[in-house]
Amino acid sequence: MAFGQPRIEYKTNSQMRIMHEAGLVLSRALDAAVAAAVPGVTTKHLDDVFAAVLNEAGAKSNFLGYHGFPATICTSVNEEVVHGIPGGRVLEDGDIISIDGGAIVNGWHSDSARTVIVGTADPEDQRLSDVTRAAMWRGIAALATGKHVGDIGAAIDDYVSSVPGKPLGILEDYVGHGIGSEMHMPPDVLNYRTSHRGPKIKPGLCLAIEPMLVRGGIETAVLEDDWTVVTTDGKRSCQWEHSVAVHEKGIWVLSAPDGGAEHLVPLGVTPVPIP
């Protein structure tokens, strides 16, 4: 990159509108995978269901082949935090599974993750998922109201530490990221408060905001498959993620059909469609 060029890729409105198309395909594919996550099915089945929606829409997967990754989604069950590989594992009643996927339309990327509790939920797992999801929306709202990328992590951190009951840990080994002509781009989007404000939030910035929370310690390890990340204490973990665009009129959640209105309006932020 030439001297004086921005390190961050700022998108035009028309580029962000294509990213929104990629986000809408992704949202539908996640709907299908989430609906398919019931006791007795394999994680491979969820991958097949997800891939079928992408194929039907003519979208490409950005996960398949990424550094050799063999599937279109990551399926991370229980103590698996992220990057679990779909396969023969059969989902059991009470499992908590994060489904993380992405789609490419005309070269523009989207990335989003949801957590599902299969069958009967342990109330503490339900709380873990609810808090992680709410933390993600706090982070997204901070993208609209904040001045710097560091405001996102601060909002997530403040929210998680304000929740009554047993404290939940915020993972530090994995973070959110810029997204656009590639899936993973600068800047990093931390999920916790630091003394660094980070880059300024300005139109054209597109971020994947993805808090990962755990019921125990935040130490992680990578399994022998070189992909699956687990908590070292075996405690359960959870991830929620959306891709979000900043434009001159406001923000729009690219991977949500309503731009995030349902969850952002109660937080005082009204998403605005990309002009």
Q: Which of 36, 170, 32, 168 is nearest to 91 (CA)?
A: 36
β-bridge pairing 176-178 and 108-117: unpaired
Nearer to Mg ion, 50 or 90 (CB): 50
Residues binding Mg ion: number (CB under 5 A): 5
Q: Which stretch binds Mg ion (CB under 5 A): 47-55, 103-111, 147-155, 244-252?
A: 103-111
Q: Does 157 bind Mg ion (CB under 5 A)?
A: no
CA atoms within 13 Å, Cβ hemisphere of 172: 8
Nearer to Mg ion, 231 or 243 (CB): 243
Nearer to Mg ion, 101 or 271 (CB): 101
Rounded to the nearest 10 degrees, what angle do helices 150-162 and 123-145 cross at? 140
DSSP state of 66: G
**Binding pattern for the stretch 201-220 against Mg ion, x by CB under 5 A and - elsewhere:** -------x------------
Q: Which stretch binds Mg ion (CB under 5 A): 39-47, 91-99, 211-219, 234-242?
A: 234-242
Residue 8's SS3 state is coil
Cβ-in-10-Å burial (0-12, 13-18, 19+) of 120 comes to exposed
Q: Which stretch binds Mg ion (CB under 5 A): 108-116, 147-155, 190-198, 261-269?
A: 108-116
Q: Does 111 bind Mg ion (CB under 5 A)?
A: yes
Residue 176's SS3 state is strand
Among 79, 95, 100, 157, binds Mg ion (CB under 5 A): 100
- Bridge partners (DSSP) of residue 3 are none
* Binding stretches for Mg ion (CB under 5 A): 100, 111, 113, 208, 241
